[in-house]
Structure 1
Amino acid sequence: MRSAFDFSPYRRSTVGFDRLFDMLENNSVGQGQENYPPFDLIKKGENDYCIQLAVAGFKPDEIDITAQQNVLLVSGRKSDETEEKGTEFVYRGIANRSFERRFALADHIQVRAADLKDGLLSIDLVREIPEAMKPRKINIGGSAGERSAIGGGEQPASKQTVEAEAENA
């Protein structure tokens, strides 16, 4: 289903953002998003996040957390033996159904830990950007140490190399 907003002008003028536009188009209004279990998304620091899901009634062995590529999948399946035999409910307000919740993760987001306490499942996330991807300052013409090692003169290293090759020829 297409969204009400047309992203084609942005697709023409950007490079490498196809995945972002696909996500925006696929998660637009009209999609039947289930809202169980409810969750909170918490920013703990510049690169630290936490997802808290309300999973009352679930035990740790009934919850499965899977992180793959850029998707975090949290699912819960109630086992049949957890049903109390011979218990007759007059009213059942606590959800006892299975669930599957997907979270789209940005690049370089890693799952650090998960904990279940007092009916809240907490999943700690951290953004770990590799050193090669971090911004770095590039000096123009190389550093002063490189010039002195090559020829020590005032001329750029490339001009010194050309002059040295001309003398040797």
Structure 2
Amino acid sequence: MFHKFLKSETGAVTVDWVVLSAAIVGMGVASVAAVQTGTTSLGAQVQSVLETASITALELPYRLQGLTAELAENRANLYATASTEQIINWHESRVNYLITAISRGHHTPTGDFSNLSTGETLDVLYLHRQELIARGAYPVDGVPSFHELHQLYRDAL
């Protein structure tokens, strides 16, 4: 029986599988060790960015509130040829006009550029904003942002 045990090779297969499994586990441990430093560093960078990140307002495409597309295009062309200082002056003036028009409840579109409603004025301010952004001159110091003015307009409706 002892002689039969020594000649039997059935246990050798088990040893082969144990050695093969140990090699696979060893390679897994080695690969984890190889990438651990990089992934830890990357994780720290992501954490740092997320901790310092702030949530900003989502800017959706603006939809005209009162101006016709034709009048808006006419105004945009005018602003494209005006100086940055002129647009800033017009912008500051229209912000004050918007605040006054909101306080008076002047919300019905007029189609008359000399007597704009709140929605039409907001459209003009948006056109100012777009032109000033293109020139790198927005936001205007001391003037509420377009988002603040838009919120003021929505609250008044």
Same fold flag (TM > 0.5): no
Structure number with higher helix proportion: 2
Structure number with higher strand proportion: 1
- Give 1 or 2 for the bigger CA radius of gyration: 2
TM-score by length of 1: 0.20
TM-score by length of 2: 0.21
Higher RCO (C-alpha 8 Å, min separation 6) = 2
